[in-house]
Amino acid sequence: MWAQEIIRAKRDGAALSEAQIQSMVRGLVDGSWSEGQIAALAMAVLWRGMSRAECVALTRAMRDSGRQMHWRDLPGPVLDKHSSGGVGDKISLMLAPLVAACGGFVPMISGRGLGHTGGTLDKLEAIPGFCATPEAALFERIVREVGCAIIGQTADLAPADGRFYAVRDISATVESVPLITASILSKKLAAGLQGLVMDVKCGNGAFADSPWMAQELAHSIVGVAAGAGLPTRALITDMNEVLGQTVGNSLELLEAMKYLRGEAREPRLHALTLALAGEMLQLGGLAVNAADAEAKLQAALDSGAAAEKFAQLVAAQGGPADLLERPDRYLAAAPVQRLVCAPRAGRLSAMQTREIGLAVVELGGGRRQAGDRIDVRVGLSDVLPLGTVFEVGQPFAMVHAADDPAAERAAAAVLAACDFSEPEAPWSPADLIQARVG
């Protein structure tokens, strides 16, 4: 089929047939579709949309464009969680070993930082020796023996999605809900999952910055996943403030390890980790209801089983076996720390969370361009939650920077992104979990 005729059909609002979609996906893989043609189709989809049937066909075709994993003879369900991206979102680091400690198997395929949001792989690669792209046989062995592994997308896993996404990234078409859906699910289906939980972030620190967009994305993912044979649930969760107390690669890794060791569990971070992991246990038949799931997850934390799974994962993927016990030996600290203090007495009433994420990117903790090198040391720690009442000059965050000028700029940016109201002004916290879909 001619590429231009497929593009013309979608441009004019027609639904693409399964044969047309499969032809396009073959063109992505064999190079017979040019970047211009891929970009034109992506723009047509952005404007014209896709039906549920079209999106299911695209998801399956991209899944089938490369290698697929098959998990035979495992004594438990194969499960995963995916987040649409947030600021301070380090939940995957705790969730994968936590679910594994409860009897699940988690072959997690994660991404790198995108825009103002951090990436799980970048955090893990702050660990010396950690390999985020092991050979397929090693990846499968780690999942079978440890119960979880976290890797990046490999060239042979949904390769059509890899090329499609690269073009979408440079053609202003990333925001298309059908294409986001197919991109996420093609990789998850190729990973051989039996259940998926989606964390759709909503708020000023999320790509879905409105409840309407978050609902659209959540319903699209759950519906298309069902059409492709993957049981999926979605939680729409608040991203109007930093999740946890840190932003930045090594700093978030340290917070995750403190969480697993039981040294510090920030309440919102803990609640969301248990909620997402609990949905996974219920999907996989490892818990009969939410209360049963929470009890099992808390027991895995309290016993140290989840922390042990994390240590095994790190060692199996090339990191030091004693990272949990001696993190300071392996994770270098930024040379400059600078407090960010309340400019007046009052209540921290709002954050422009995206701007806080961008401040960390400016410190070197994220990428402006794909090839940029990340400084894993930099970021924010000791970030206090919305609703906290301060005296004038009381610190509410700590900047970690490579030098004094960078620290000054970041501190000013964080301060500008935060609003303080009168202490007695009415205030109530946002719902952490705004909706459940599926």
Is the pLDDT confidence value at 113 over 80?
A: no
| pLDDT score recorded for residue 115 | 67
Tokens 């930093």: give the residue.
242
- Residue 259 tokens read as 């969480």
Residues of the chain above pLDDT 90, percent: 87
Judge whether 173 and 43 are in contact, CB under 8 Å: yes
User: Which of 187, 201, 219, 233 is an active site residue?
Assistant: 187
Instruction: Tell me if residue 183 is catalytic.
Output: yes
Instruction: Tell me if residue 232 is catalytic.
Output: no
**Burial class of residue 73, CB neighbours in 10 A (0-12, 13-18, 19+):** exposed
Alpha carbon of 381 to those of 47, 87, 94, 97, 247: distances in Å? 41, 12, 18, 24, 7
**Burial class of residue 344, CB neighbours in 10 A (0-12, 13-18, 19+):** exposed
Predicted TM-score (pTM) of this structure: 0.93
User: Which of 117, 120, 176, 273 is an active site residue?
Assistant: 120
Instruction: Tell me if residue 349 is catalytic.
Output: no
User: Which of 168, 219, 338, 347 is an active site residue?
Assistant: 168
| pLDDT score recorded for residue 102 | 98
β strands within 1-64, DSSP E: none
| pLDDT score recorded for residue 162 | 87
Judge whether 281 and 287 are in contact, CB under 8 Å: yes
Least Cα distance to 280 among 152, 92, 413 occurs for 92
| pLDDT score recorded for residue 114 | 64
Instruction: Tell me if residue 64 is catalytic.
Output: no
Is the pLDDT confidence value at 118 over 80?
A: no
User: Which of 10, 81, 90, 347 is an active site residue?
Assistant: 81
Give the separation between CA 365 and CA 434, rounded to whole angstroms: 29
Instruction: Tell me if residue 187 is catalytic.
Output: yes
Q: Average model confidence (pLDDT) for the chain?
A: 94
Mean pLDDT of 420-433: 91
Instruction: Tell me if residue 188 is catalytic.
Output: yes
| pLDDT score recorded for residue 111 | 76
User: Which of 188, 219, 354, 400 is an active site residue?
Assistant: 188
Question: pLDDT of 157-174, one tens digit each?
Answer: 899 998 998 888 778 887
Mean pLDDT of 416-420: 96
Instruction: Tell me if residue 381 is catalytic.
Output: no
| pLDDT score recorded for residue 201 | 96
Give the separation between CA 353 and CA 318, rounded to whole angstroms: 34
- What pLDDT band is residue 369 in, cutting at 50, 70 and 90? low
Is the torsion defined by CA of 420, 425, 429, 435 positive or negative?
negative
User: Which of 23, 80, 84, 268 is an active site residue?
Assistant: 80
| pLDDT score recorded for residue 275 | 98
> 375 φ, ψ to 5°?
-90, 105
Count of CB atoms within 10 A of residue 264's CB? 14
Judge whether 326 and 209 are in contact, CB under 8 Å: no
Judge whether 320 and 314 are in contact, CB under 8 Å: yes
| pLDDT score recorded for residue 19 | 97
Judge whether 32 and 154 are in contact, CB under 8 Å: no
Give the separation between CA 209 and CA 116, rounded to whole angstroms: 13
Tokens 């001619």: give the residue.
2
Instruction: Tell me if residue 65 is catalytic.
Output: no
- What pLDDT band is residue 370 in, cutting at 50, 70 and 90? low
User: Which of 23, 83, 84, 110 is an active site residue?
Assistant: 83
Is the pLDDT confidence value at 180 over 70?
A: yes
Least Cα distance to 78 among 288, 230, 271 occurs for 230
Least Cα distance to 87 among 210, 198, 249, 236 occurs for 249
* Partner residues linked to 236 by β-bridges: 200, 435
Least Cα distance to 352 among 204, 213, 145 occurs for 204
- What pLDDT band is residue 274 in, cutting at 50, 70 and 90? very high
| pLDDT score recorded for residue 117 | 76
Judge whether 88 and 268 are in contact, CB under 8 Å: no
Domains and CATH numbers, the chain: 3-49 (1.20.970.10), 79-316 (3.40.1030.10), 331-421 (3.90.1170.30)
The helix (H) or strand (E) run that includes residue 393 is: none
Largest CA distance in the chain: 68
| pLDDT score recorded for residue 390 | 93
Residue spans of alpha helices (H) in 158-287: 159-170, 177-190, 211-227, 249-261, 267-283
Q: What is the DSSP string of 115-135?
A: TTB--HHHHHTTSTT--SS--
- What pLDDT band is residue 67 in, cutting at 50, 70 and 90? very high
User: Which of 176, 183, 220, 250 is an active site residue?
Assistant: 183
Is the pLDDT confidence value at 362 over 80?
A: yes
The residue type of 154 is T
- What pLDDT band is residue 88 in, cutting at 50, 70 and 90? very high
| pLDDT score recorded for residue 404 | 98
Question: pLDDT of 316-335, one tens digit each?
Answer: 999 999 999 999 999 999 99
**Burial class of residue 408, CB neighbours in 10 A (0-12, 13-18, 19+):** middle
Identify the weakest region by mean pLDDT among 135-139, 198-202, 277-281, 425-429: 425-429
Give the separation between CA 40 and CA 119, rounded to whole angstroms: 28
Residue 118: which region, alpha, beta or left (left: phi > 0; alpha: psi -120 to 50)?
Answer: beta
User: Which of 10, 60, 63, 82 is an active site residue?
Assistant: 82
Question: pLDDT of 226-260, one tens digit each?
Answer: 999 999 999 999 999 999 999 999 999 999 999 99
Instruction: Tell me if residue 258 is catalytic.
Output: no
